[in-house]
Amino acid sequence: MNRLPLILLSFLLFPVTSVAHGPTPQKAKESITINASVDAVWNAIKQFDAIASWHPDVKASSGDGKNASDGARTITLQNGGQLVENLDFYSDKDHEYNYRLKTENVTAFPASSYTINLQVTPGNDANTSVVTLKSRFYRGDTGNTPPENLNDAAAVKAMNEFFKNGLAGLKQKLEK
């Protein structure tokens, strides 16, 4: 029996539609070497809700003071927009924490979701440290045809700039 008519009939009854998938996750990673010990660098950044003390893109930050899972902070960016973030992991011993965006605000920052890892590791000698920021995130508009200011490229650019500016601000603060 020829199956071709059945296959053709199935295409007529169940037409193939193009299935668009959502956005793909993007990644960013930046590191900087700072001429200061791991302990000195960690002491400058370990308080989760005090990011405004070292990050030049952050005008103000406040939070619950917790350096533990579910610790929370609200940051106000220089553009006036606010983001709410929560700690997922914190290790004083490993000089590391992970946090995520809790409340998105794509007018302030063109990402709809992100997780960020911050870690301080020893540099080439006892007087240097390497600070690494890395993130996984999605663009601000997760629809199939995002506007240019909320597309993948805009989100990647914003995250990389935020990382670079923060690391440069931290280096400047600690090496002055």
pLDDT digits (tens, 9 = 90+) for 96-118: 999 999 999 999 999 999 999 99
CA proximity to 60, closest of 83, 77, 41: 77
Question: Above 60 in pLDDT, residue 49?
Answer: yes
- Beta-carbon contacts of 117 under 8 Å, excluding residues fewer than 6 positions away, are 96, 97, 98, 132, 133, 134, 135
Q: Which CATH superfamily is domain 25-175 in?
A: START domain (3.30.530.20)
Percent of the chain with pLDDT over 70: 88
Per-residue burial over 155-165, b if 16 or more Cβ lie within 10 Å, else e, is: bbebbeebbeb
The pair of structure tokens assigned to 123 is 């540099």
> Cα dihedral sign for 97, 98, 104, 105?
positive
Question: Band of the pLDDT at 21, cuts 50, 70, 90?
Answer: low
Strands across the sheet with 58-63, in order? 26-34, 129-139, 111-122, 96-103, 82-91, 72-77, 58-63
Percent of the chain with pLDDT over 90: 83
Question: Above 80 in pLDDT, residue 4?
Answer: no
- Residues 117, 130: contact at Cβ < 8 Å? no
DSSP letter assigned to residue 171:
H
Mean confidence (pLDDT) of the chain: 91
23 or 150, greater pLDDT: 150
Question: Band of the pLDDT at 23, cuts 50, 70, 90?
Answer: confident
| For helices 152-175 and 38-45, angle between their N-to-C axes, nearest 10 degrees | 120
Q: How far apart are CA 36 and CA 41, in angstroms?
A: 6
What is the reported pTM?
0.86
Q: How far apart are CA 21 and CA 112, in angstroms?
A: 16
Output the pLDDT for position 2. Answer: 63
